Amino acid sequence: MHGYGVSAGPSTVIRIENVAKRYGNITAVNGVSFSVEEGEIFGLLGPNGAGKTTLIRMLTTLTRPTAGELFVAGYSVRKHQVEVKKRIGVVPQQNNLERELTGRQNLLLHALLHKVDRAERNQRINELLEYVGLQDRADDRVQNYSGGMARRLLIARALVHRPSILFLDEPTIGLDPQTRRKIWDLIQIMNRDGVTVLLTTHYIEEAESLCHRVGIIDYGRLIALGTPSELKERLGNYCVEFLNERGTERHFFATRSEAQEYAQRKDCDTVVRRTNLEDVFVELTGREVRESDAS
């Protein structure tokens, strides 16, 4: 048996227990615990440098934690790296495709590395090229791909060996809104086909519209965890926003009528709107998610 520890449910597929990672003086991840259930799309939302990639690298066997334990698909990542690797797909933040090779050749290379059956290989690759809409460009070199095409190929590559858990690090970073939506569709289709997804993002809309549950991470710590609606409801589902000499001020209310009542009493211009995850982040940290965004 590869026990998860006491508080995991029967369908927990990722479990992180008190994990920390230090690089010299820098604490990239600082005592994080949470778990992901089978069938979820789970999002780690946080600003640049929050520790998102470091967490993904630990979960996917690429780096070891300084403290704590990680379990993936029922296996301790520390003890059973090979078993874990067989069951996961990884879409890294940085494109690490072979640029000189074609899309198809990149997938074939991955199939060989993962020892996908010769009999199955070509069919699987064709199926995936179609799945991500690259069948027409499959035999072009990757160096001639657009950013969106490269991202779709990275997703296809991650799926070649039929993983049950997929890790996507910033799957839509740098993509235009239309391409971003296509990637969201693809993630949802994969999820419906039975793949559990853990992704990282610093895009509020991505966390809000794509993820069943969200963990907000800041300075290496998990500062909130829940469904997008739970997180917003904790703050109050309606927001009154106005400008004053200190900048933008926001107040939160459970109902629209309470918010409107408050707004009417103010003698300045106000906006009454629904609360969003950006508000949740700002209230918890005093900063905006994209304040330090360099991308």
Q: Which residues sit at the interface with Mg ion, rule CB under 5 A? A: 52-53, 93
Candidates 5-13, 52-60, 112-120, 179-187: pick the segment binding ligand ATP (CB under 6 A): 52-60
Distance CA 146, CA 30 (A): 37
Q: 271, 241 in Cβ contact below 8 A?
A: yes
In the range 72-101, which residues lie near ligand ATP by CB under 6 A? 93
> Hey, how many other C-beta atoms are within 10 angstroms of the C-beta on 17?
20
> Smallest gap, in angstroms, from Cβ of residue 83 to ligand ATP?
25
Smallest gap from Cβ 222 to ligand ATP, in A, equals 12
Phi-psi region of 226 (alpha: psi -120 to 50; beta: other; left: phi over 0): left
Helix%, strand%, coil% for the chain, nearest 5: 35, 30, 35
What is the closest distance, in whole angstroms, from the C-beta atom of residue 126 to Mg ion in the complex? 32
The reply to whether 202 sits near ligand ATP by the rule CB under 6 A is: yes
The C-alpha atoms of residue 256 and residue 274 are separated, in whole angstroms, by: 8
Give the residue ranges of DSSP H helices in 48-201: 52-59, 81-87, 103-113, 118-131, 147-159, 177-192
Partner that binds at residue 103, options Mg ion, ligand ATP, none, CB closer than 5 to 8 Å by kind: none
Among 11, 23, 98, 264, binds ligand ATP (CB under 6 A): 23
| Window of 8-16, 41-49, 74-82, 127-135 that interacts with ligand ATP by CB under 6 A | 41-49
Residue of the chain from 30, 35, 53, 102 that contacts ligand ATP (CB under 6 A): 53
Contact at 8 Å (CB) between 293 and 267? no
Binding window for ligand ATP (CB under 6 A); candidates: 12-20, 22-30, 128-136, 151-159: 22-30
Contacted by 122, from ligand ATP, Mg ion, none: CB < 5 to 8 Å by type: none
Long-range pairs for 81-85: beta carbons < 8 A, 24 or more residues apart: 84/60, 85/60, 85/61
Which of Mg ion, ligand ATP, none binds 23 (CB below 5-8 Å, type-dependent)?
ligand ATP
State which of positions 236-255 bind ligand ATP (CB under 6 A): none
Q: Does the protein bind ligand ATP through residue 26 (CB under 6 A)? A: yes
Residues 6+ apart with CB under 8 A from 140: 102, 103
Count the site residues for ligand ATP by CB under 6 A: 13
DSSP state letter for 92: -
Where does this chain touch ligand ATP (CB under 6 A) — which range of 21-29, 75-83, 118-126, 229-237?
21-29
Q: Where are the beta strands (DSSP E) in 161-237?
A: 165-169, 196-201, 213-218, 221-226
Q: Which is nearer to Mg ion, 28 or 134 (CB)?
A: 28
Residues of this chain that interact with ligand ATP (CB under 6 A) are 23, 26, 28, 46, 48-54, 93, 202
